[in-house]
Amino acid sequence: MADFDWVKARAACSLEVLFQQLRVAVKRDVDSMNAVLAQAGRPVQCQFGDFSNRFLVMISGNGFPMRRAEFALSPSGISVEVDKPKQKTFSAIATLNPDGDCRLVVNNQELELWQVCRLGLEDLFFGG
């Protein structure tokens, strides 16, 4: 890996690129959760709201109050707020790790996209 162009790789590892990848991954998770809910016959549904620098995941139905998670892009990072069942907020920044992989860092921990999705959605999907 002596010829690795870390400058080019880091330039491609931008918050904007990771945010778009996260958007696609979260939308896929919403579709997957809706399939799980439908298969279980549960009258609950997840919705995906898409805006330019943010997107929302909402879940409601069967008398449950609406819960949501919001993912937002800012110049300093990607923030995630989950309102219920318990309040959770975290932010992520981009990094190029020692192996040359583009990752998000949350609370000083390097994560893959699916792990950031799980961190933002698990309580919303499975927390009550």
Share the mean pLDDT of the chain.
90
**Tens digits of residue pLDDT in 95-123:** 999 999 999 999 999 999 999 999 999 98
- State yes or no: pLDDT of 87 exceeds 90: no
Quick check: helix, strand or coil at residue 48? Answer: strand
Both tokens assigned to 128: 């009550």
* pLDDT-based confidence at residue 128 (cuts at 50, 70, 90): low
Query: Is this structure's pTM higher than 0.75?
Result: yes
- pLDDT recorded at residue 97: 93
**Residue bearing the bigger pLDDT, 83 or 77:** 77
Segment (H or E) for 27: helix 15-39
Segment (H or E) for 120: helix 113-126
Where do we find the tokens 């996260």?
22
For the chain, the domains span: 15-126
Where do we find the tokens 């909402």?
58
